[in-house]
Amino acid sequence: MSTEPEAASEKTPALTLLSEEEELFRGTVREFAENEVGPLVSKMDQEARIEPALLEKFFELGLMGIEIPEAYGGAGASFFMAALAVEEVSRVDASLGVCVDVQNTLVNNAMMRWATDEQKKRYLPRLAENTVGAYALSEPDSGSDAFALTCRAVEDGDTYRLTGTKLWITNGAEAGMFIVFATIDPSAGYKGITAFLVEREFEGFTVGKKEDKLGIRASSTTELILEDCVVPKANLLGELGKGYKIAIETLNEGRIGIGAQMVGIASGALDHAMGYTQQRKAFGKSISEFQGVQFQLAQCATELEAARLLVYNASRLRDASQPFLVEAAMAKLFSSQVAERVTSQAVEHYGGYGYSKDFPVEKYWRDAKIGAIYEGTSNLQLQTIAKYLLKDK
């Protein structure tokens, strides 16, 4: 049997009204993902690496600098467009979807909001044209409790020397520039956390072990080792001791991106399931003719559209400079739950074949699990939502 995914059915609804420009953009990304990424999905999953030539094409298409202003070589588009791109790429391969997501919603976003003019001139054109970025906050003992980080930054003349280990860093193997969070004063708690722009070639910086993961296997997840890593003072991002603000506000936007990734995963799995249920025969007819299967598909499609609407709403709020913290938490929470349910249902619709790597849905199922874990676990999203609901009560 072929190890490549069959063509998706494209029958899942997408009821949200898009502008003509947004619809054209969605179609372009979808066509690119299906034609260029699709044939390589199984190979990349097996080899646990992104095809380098694909990354070059992502840059050529402008998908790695969607919000970066045209003056710096980017597309100068909206955050909503970035979410659309993440969704459509993830519909075919979530590994490349998260690569696009981290580049746009975390790295580029942080640079545009907190970088100096000189830093923007130096780094934004590279991030738009050929340089993958990574966001280095997590550590071996600092995950959900992100501000328990111990990576230390010590002033040394016109430089800082960073020492510590970062873990679970997406894009670590491909990145040429890293936003690294370290503390300048451990006794100050979160008020000592500071962000630095670290280039891969800086003295004392090493990309360490690459994790062997359950899902999104082609996406590199690595450790970073900093041993007296020399970082020029000119590469301080934002203000000293204000790194916590950069981390919190950027991750709020990043969670919308993860929501878009989960919507893409669920959409791809449901497209395949709907196509297969019309092909698979049982008791003399396709299983899609059984009411039980029809109801399952209808339930999946309804939950998927609800998740999509949450993600789109949070994206629109962000573009309108309106508060979106709770909406982002809801979008990430619900979309990750929906992705797990829909992909699991898709596996069951395929029967025994759904458990085989010869068919695509088992990969969607594996890829979906990470949504409840990274960029803020589901419990942290629930905590954020609950705090808002109970505020001033």
pLDDT of residue 393: 64
Exposure string over 330-345, b if 16+ CB within 10 A, otherwise e = bbbbbbbbbbbbbbbb
| Residue 5 φ/ψ region, left for φ over 0, alpha for ψ in the -120 to 50 degree band, beta for the rest | beta
Catalytic residue list contains 227: no
Q: Rounded to an integer, what is the distance from CA 48 to the centroid of its chain?
A: 17
Could you tell me the CA-to-CA distances from 334 to 211, 261, 306, 308 in Å, in that order? 27, 12, 9, 10
Over residues 307-363, the pLDDT tens digits come to 999 999 999 999 999 999 999 999 999 999 999 999 999 999 999 999 999 999 999
Domains of the chain by start residue, with CATH: 20-132 (1.10.540.10), 134-241 (2.40.110.10), 245-390 (1.20.140.10)
pLDDT of residue 245: 95
Over residues 271-306, the pLDDT tens digits come to 999 999 999 999 999 999 999 999 999 999 999 999
Residue 161: its H or E element: strand 159-170
The span from the CA of 59 to the CA of 229, in Å, is 29
Catalytic residue, chosen from 139, 223, 303, 375, is 375
Q: Consecutive sets of 10 residues in the chain, 393 residues long: mean pLDDT of each?
A: 43 68 97 98 98 97 98 98 98 98 98 98 98 97 85 98 98 98 95 97 98 98 98 98 95 97 98 97 96 98 98 97 97 98 98 96 98 96 96 74
| Residue 101, amino acid | D
pLDDT of residue 92: 98
The percent of the chain in helix, strand and coil, each rounded to the nearest 5, is: 60, 15, 25
pLDDT of residue 4: 43
Q: Are 110 and 248 in contact (CB under 8 A)?
A: no
pLDDT of residue 11: 52
Exposure string over 261-297, b if 16+ CB within 10 A, otherwise e = bbbbbbbbbbbbbbbbbeeeeeeeeebbeeeebeebb
pLDDT of residue 94: 98
The predicted model scores a pTM of: 0.95
Q: Are 255 and 263 in contact (CB under 8 A)?
A: no
For tokens 């029958």, the residue is: 11
Of the candidates 171, 174, 135, the residue with the CA atom closest to the CA atom of residue 53:
174
